[in-house]
Amino acid sequence: MRLNRDAIRRKLPSNLDELALETGALLRRREIKCAEQLLWMTLMYSGLVEPSLRQTSAIGGITGDFELNDTSVRYRLKNAPEFLTAVLNSLLFGADRALRADGVSRRICLQDATTVSFPGSDGTDFRLHTEYVPGQGLAYVEITDRRGGESLERGEYRPGDIVIADQGLAYAKSIHHVCSTGAYCLIRCYLQNIKLQGEDGVRLKPERILDLADQGASSIPVLVPHEDAAPIRARLVMAKLPAEAAARAREKLRKQASKKQKSISELAMRLAGYVVILTTVPADELSDSEVLHTYRLRWQIELFFKRCKSLLGLDKLKAHGAVARAWLLGKMIIATLVDRALAGIYREWAYKRSGAVPSLWPLTKLCLMDLQATILDVERVLPSLDESALRRLGEAPRKKRKAAAVDIARLNKKLNPSARRVRP
């Protein structure tokens, strides 16, 4: 997808004006005549380099999109969050529909959250809950205040999906929720935070599990109980970290405990030397070694957050209240549009399989530059991303991250054996 205004319009809801009216974002049509003008105003405010309300007002006048002073821009943005949420959800649904068109019915869903704070704040002001699908991009976004806790219940899953998350989300309630949708869990767990049972219904102590790992066991069958619900059958995959990695993990644990002025138990120090993955994926679909390898894909959502903060300026919030929420939603709309463009580029690469894997970071920069030029409505500044350009963006063989695209393609092929290689 090329990020010009016509291409973006085709991705927007057909009833954009109705949405703006229903959500109260466009009750008074004076200088703002239609919902599309309001959307471009938001993208100008969120998508350019640290713009202010006054700069947004000036840019709108230069491009001819609207004639408003900074006070009026604030008023419009303040009333826009519900409308922008509807636009974002429509874009996310469109991305999911495009993935289905490629024959991918089972997805790899990475769950995590990041925090965003006001200038001068000494804590968390907003928490951005996301579900990220490699090869598609964002699939779910929810913005809460600091009281909005992280949970696997904040997401939308389909039967057969594999939900990957870090140990902070490994709770019985969340695991039962994911399984109730027909999806599978693949979650790193901290054995002190979750009560597991053996097949006989007797609780398994963490020390016993680690003893089995020391004896060479790569996995054991377990039950995940929760209140009055029937226990869920799962598999606990265990691996002992190499000595150097275990030492780094224990040193990190010491620093965290020192910062919080807490003591560390002997069990916690021992647990730091292991990787323990709880999964409901059947062993005939993913072996123990494949479970450990698949979990490494979780790093892709961390890289997404890093791109958002380093390239999209997600960590440069300079607003408060509803205007700040509109700014965040604008950032997520931009991230979704960029992800759609990146997905098209990687589908083209997967179809041709020519040259090295295109490097995600410079590709994101180019797509973002393309979108910013569109927001400013200036002449196109980027050449076509043809095969030779993608080849020049290939990562050097020594870099391990380049294997992520190959791993994702291989896993998607395994999960969706009937999917055809569709030319983009």
Spatial CB neighbours of 280, under 8 Å, sequence gap ≥ 6: 175, 179, 184, 185, 186, 232, 233, 234, 235
- The pLDDT tens digits for 158-183 are 999 999 999 889 999 999 999 999 99
Whether the pLDDT of residue 28 is over 80: the answer is no
pLDDT of the residue at 380: 39
Most confident of 60-74, 167-181, 258-272: 167-181
Whether the pLDDT of residue 331 is over 70: the answer is yes
The whole-number average pLDDT for the span 296-312 is: 92
Distance (Å, whole) CA 344 – CA 346: 6
Whether the pLDDT of residue 284 is over 90: the answer is yes
Q: How does residue 351 score in pLDDT terms, banded at 50, 70 and 90?
A: low
Q: Which two tokens stand for residue 321?
A: 């209240």
pLDDT of the residue at 424: 47
Most confident of 134-138, 381-385, 397-401: 134-138
Whether the pLDDT of residue 408 is over 70: the answer is yes
Whether the pLDDT of residue 155 is over 70: the answer is yes
Instruction: Pinpoint the residues of the chain covered by CATH 3.90.350.10.
Output: 106-204+218-238+273-302
Q: What distance separates the 2 farthest-apart alpha carbons in the chain?
A: 74
The whole-number average pLDDT for the span 187-210 is: 90
pLDDT of the residue at 237: 95
Homologous superfamily of 106-204+218-238+273-302: Transposase Inhibitor Protein From Tn5; Chain A, domain 1 (3.90.350.10)
3-class SS at 41? helix
Report the predicted TM-score, pTM, of the whole model to 2 decimal places.
Answer: 0.86
- Per DSSP (E only), the strands in 134-193 are 137-145, 162-165, 184-188
Number of other CB atoms surrounding residue 227 within 10 Å: 7
The whole-number average pLDDT for the span 280-308 is: 94
| Pick from 29-43, 224-238, 389-403: least confident | 389-403
**146 vs 109, more confident:** 109
Whether the pLDDT of residue 113 is over 90: the answer is yes
Q: How does residue 421 score in pLDDT terms, banded at 50, 70 and 90?
A: low
Q: How does residue 66 score in pLDDT terms, banded at 50, 70 and 90?
A: confident
**413 vs 339, more confident:** 339
Whether the pLDDT of residue 257 is over 70: the answer is yes
Q: What is the average pLDDT value for the chain, to the nearest integer?
A: 86
Whether the pLDDT of residue 256 is over 80: the answer is yes
Q: In what order do the strands lie in the sheet with 126-133?
A: 137-145, 126-133, 108-116, 162-165, 184-188, 274-279, 229-240, 219-226
Backbone angles phi, psi at 145, to 5 degrees: -85, -170
Distance (Å, whole) CA 317 – CA 327: 8
pLDDT of the residue at 40: 92
Q: Which two tokens stand for residue 135?
A: 């090869």
The whole-number average pLDDT for the span 318-340 is: 92
Q: Which two tokens stand for residue 351?
A: 């179809």
